[in-house]
Amino acid sequence: MTNALPLPDFVHERVEVVTGRRSGLFISVALHSSVLGSALGGARLWTYPHWSDALGDALRLSAAMTLKNAAAGLDAGGGKSVIGLPPETVLDADRRRAAFLDLGDAVESLGGLYRTAEDVGSTTEDMLVVSERTAHVVGLPDAVGGSGEPAGPTSLGVYASLVATLERVVGSGEVRDRRITVAGLGQVGGRLAERLASEGAVLTVTDVNPAKRTLAARLGAAWVEPSEVHLVPADVFVPAGIGGVLTDDVIDALDARAVCGPANNPLAERAGAERLAARGVLYAPDFVVNAGGVIYLDFVAKQLGSREAIMDRVAGIGDTLRQVFTEAETRGVTPLAAAEGLAADRLRVGASSTALV
């Protein structure tokens, strides 16, 4: 019997798959595109039921990074790395360090075509370990002169996107008294919820970690179970956790006027964009909304302006999303298709430029 792996189409420039010689863990570094420059994308440390699931994640996430970096106007290609943990694996400090040394070796093998950074499950301290094996890493801790944690810039970009989304669906970007549901209170979702609460939003929140109820109580936010969060009436639903949450069933039951959040690949299927549109739900494409962190990391690494100027550039994500919404309305397509078109235009220009070299 043939085992059909749940993998997307393979359109990548290069993929490295290794068993870490120190850690014994599955590691994949996926370079989707370097048309616009050295690829940039984080390193995910996550538990997967099978190694093929980890590989599939690397392939999907790296392709999404190509779209994200292109739509954000960066001279950077798309890539991603994944360290896959078998079920019920718990890393002690020594094996964790070994895993990121192994990752550093894998990144180095691409010769600078891919730069890694922290992502879900990894930290700036982990990137410091990676830097022992390769120079092609960004987002090192502030204490060693690095750019530090990118969750703050990511959250700023999401906030700017949420304002642009509110303008579109209710006619004003004013957050006060707007019903906003945040599903996921991690580094980005938690920061966003803090800001929204301080500005008077009517918040509903959830997280797979029940300990986050403490944050909800401090913010004065209503708490619901993760399985019911999409049923809460909202002006904007903010997916801020894992991807794939917007299945057909969730979309059909979703009680929100718009979706705008930092989760990567929140649509379980690409056709979900049309399904949302058919229900009159405005969808802000994730790879536009959540680009703040990668903009910040790329600009800091290349020393493209002061920190203040870079954060202003991150806040400009709101204007990019306004452009996407306008283009979608003009062309009669979904915002997802409009955003993909924006990215494709930049990639065509980059490919043409590369072809002339």
- What gap in Å lies between CA 117 and CA 111, rounded to an integer? 16
212 is catalytic: no
Task: Tell whether residue 186 is among the known ligand binding residues.
Answer: yes
Task: Tell whether residue 73 is among the known ligand binding residues.
Answer: no
**DSSP letters for 108-126:** HTTTTSEEB-B-TT--HHH
* Angle at CA of residue 126, ends 123 and 130, nearest 5°: 135
Give the gyration radius of the chain's Cα atoms. 20
Task: Tell whether residue 303 is among the known ligand binding residues.
Answer: no
- What gap in Å lies between CA 329 and CA 351, rounded to an integer? 28
For residue 6 the two structure tokens come to 């749940």
Q: How far is CA 229 from the centre of its chain?
A: 20
192 near 228, Cβ under 8 Å?
A: no
Phi and psi at 131, nearest 5°, equal: -65, -15
The residues facing 115 across adjacent strands are 40
Strand pairing of 43-47 and 39-40?
unpaired
For residue 227 the two structure tokens come to 């399985």
Task: Tell whether residue 184 is among the known ligand binding residues.
Answer: yes
For residue 319 the two structure tokens come to 């204007």
Task: Tell whether residue 229 is among the known ligand binding residues.
Answer: no
Selected catalytic residue, list 68, 80, 212, 302: 80
Task: Tell whether residue 323 is among the known ligand binding residues.
Answer: no
Binding residues, by number, are 184-189
Binding residues for NAD(+) are 184-189
Would you please indicate which residues are annotated as catalytic (active-site) residues?
80
